[in-house]
A and B are shown apart, each in its own frame.
Chain A
Amino acid sequence: MSVATIAPRHWTKPPLIKRAWLRWLLGGGVLVYLALAFGTTEVNWARVWEGLPRGARFFAAFFPPDFVSRWSEISDGILESLWMTVVATAIGIAISVPVGIGAAKNIAPAPVYYVCRGFLAVSRSFQEIILAIFFVKLFGFGPFAGVVTLAFATIGFYGKLLAEDIEDMDPSQAEAVRATGAGWLQWINYGVQPQVMPRMIGLGLYRFDINFRESAVVGIVGAGGIGATLDTAFDRYEFASAAAILLIIIGIVMLVEYSSGYVRRWVQ
């Protein structure tokens, strides 16, 4: 005993996975799978090499970007995209507020919670393109399908984050409002809303930004917006016009991003 206390005591950091066999099995398994996966990936270097100058030519065809010859189509597409984005973001957020409140475990009763969580899970499980294909089949080509797609995707995104923000709120502030004899809506308005508002404004702008980018993508499967114009430009090999569209998309996204950052700082 006395020897043990005099000798320096050995210490190592406890491993993340306690059971040694499981640790080795998992580690070894991952390594073997990675090795096999890389082994089966066929890279035809000759074709990569041939592709490079083609890519360069393709890229060169973008210059100079041509804003003029297809301007009326481009401006129609942009305006349609912006309109889709605004409408879809507004509808999506309006619906996701009640759903998000219902999906917050700390304020919603259990049945409401599970229904709302389920709805959010469904809404989040499909990528926008898949939703867009589905809604185009449902409502036909055009921006309406795009609006429904983006609004639906917004609900999943915004509702989930709202619910999580409500779950993270300071319960004592809400409790204090409840203790005054406030009604439920007053309690939400005074006790809960001020706590989540700044983050939700920021996320609303962020979602606007995402919806604008997505509006360019869903157009490719026929759901309207600038995506349709972009797709047409590529189909006609009008790369200069396509470049103009891409530049405008980049410009608008940067503008939204910059202003959302500014607004977020201001509301904090």
Chain B
Amino acid sequence: MLRIRGLTKRYRTGDLALKGIDLDIPDGEVMALIGPSGAGKSTVIRCINRLVEPTAGTVRLNDTEITTLGNRELRRVRRRMGMIFQEYALVERLTVMENVLSGRLGYVGFWRSYMRKFPQTDIDDAFRLLARVGLDQMADKRADELSGGQRQRVGICRALIQDPDLLLVDEPTASLDPKTSRQIMRLIRELCSERKLSAIINIHDVLLAQMFAERVVGLRLGEIVYDGPPGGLTAEVLTKIYGEEDWSATIRKVDEDTDETAEPPDNVIALETRQPHRDRMAGLT
């Protein structure tokens, strides 16, 4: 359970990015955070793991108050929050395996990590996760040799090997094509339900948010202006979040999409079974 109260962030430039956000995320809930650029979505999730220091307010993960932690305890609590980034943020010159194992840095000592001598259980976990996303053959490739979708899957493995309670996901699909975007979102969604993880997913794409989240929170200028089920995103609500625009296309597509979901998934599966087994694993299973 993540409990945010009165979360406020004022940047040194004087911009008030968050104006006292209250938010509860129960265990196992996948929540999408939508809103225009500059609404404060990234700031919210970075204030949770304190990559950005909040100006005021409290953030509690289970029983730990995060905002007041010292360095050592902050590291401990960061282990419990896996983060997935826009543009993947893999360390490009490290191998896939090193990138995944870097998710264990909070658990092992410096010399162990420096010599790349991780405990065998970590290595087993890493291979299992890579196999789960269909990349176990790629373990020794350098991260910059992978395609966008593959990189994001490595990013997901890096977050999951932390054995987190919560996933913080920042624009996971911003640089992916539409099909890969769906595969990645589906993968995140499935992994969350497999592991009973809660997740906060910042996302630009309203349709994807509606397809893959149980709950949608709309942020505008640092304030929550919508909090409810994906189905509640009407034209008025979207106008409140993003401003005046003709939303009929977005909403109609939503309907089409929900119609589609009854049928096209078979289509997609049929398409993908023709591909090698591992690829199918990655996108769908």
Contacts and interface: CB of A to CB of B under 8 A. Distances in A.
Given A172-B89, A176-B85, A183 B103 contact: no
A181 B106 contact: yes
B274 to A, nearest CB: 34
B162 A190 contact: no
Contact of B106 (A176, A180, A191, A197): A180
A180 B80 CA distance: 8
B153 interface: no
A190 B97 CA distance: 12
Interface string A160-204: 000000000010110111111111011101110011011000000
B51 A190 contact: no
A235 B162 CA distance: 70
B156 to A, nearest CB: 12
A182 B91 contact: no
A191 B113 contact: no
A176 B98 CA distance: 13
A194 B91 contact: yes
Contacts of B76: 181
B21 interface: no
A180 B89 contact: no
A223 B77 CA distance: 56
Max count, chain B CB within 10 A of own CB: residue among A178, A181, A182, A198:
A181
Nearest to A181: B106
A180 B162 contact: yes
A181 B161 CA distance: 12
Given A172-B85, A189-B113, A190-B102, A181 B78 contact: yes
Contact of A173 (B81, B92, B98, B105): B92
Nearest to B78: A181
B92 A186 contact: no
Given A190-B105, A194-B94, A182 B89 contact: no
Given A172-B85, A191-B91, A177 B51 contact: no
Interface in A23-56: none
A181 B79 contact: yes
A180 B79 contact: yes
A177 B91 contact: yes
Max count, chain A CB within 10 A of own CB: residue among B92, B93, B104, B113:
B93
Given A176-B83, A176-B85, A190-B113, A182 B102 contact: yes
B91 A190 contact: yes
Given A186-B113, A190-B105, A180 B91 contact: no
Contacts of B104: 180
A181 B92 contact: no
B103 A180 contact: yes
Given A172-B85, A198-B93, A179 B49 contact: yes
Contacts of A182: 75, 102, 105-106, 113
B177 to A, nearest CB: 21
Contact of B83 (A179, A183, A197, A198): A179
A264 to B, nearest CB: 14
A28 B229 CA distance: 72
A257 B168 CA distance: 48
Interface string B88-125: 01111110001000111111001001100000000000
B97 to A, nearest CB: 12
B83 A185 contact: no
Contacts of B214: none
Nearest to B83: A179
A114 to B, nearest CB: 19
B158 A189 contact: no
Contact of A180 (B86, B102, B110): B102
Given A173-B89, A182-B102, 13 more contacts: A170-B92, A172-B89, A175-B89, A179-B49, A179-B81, A179-B83, A180-B102, A180-B103, A182-B105, A183-B110, A185-B110, A185-B114, A190-B113
5 contacts: A176-B155, A180-B158, A181-B79, A190-B102, A194-B93
Interface of A: 170, 172-173, 175-183, 185-187, 189-191, 194-195, 197-198
Interface of B: 49, 51, 75-79, 81, 83, 85-87, 89-94, 98, 102-107, 110, 113-114, 155, 158, 162, 168
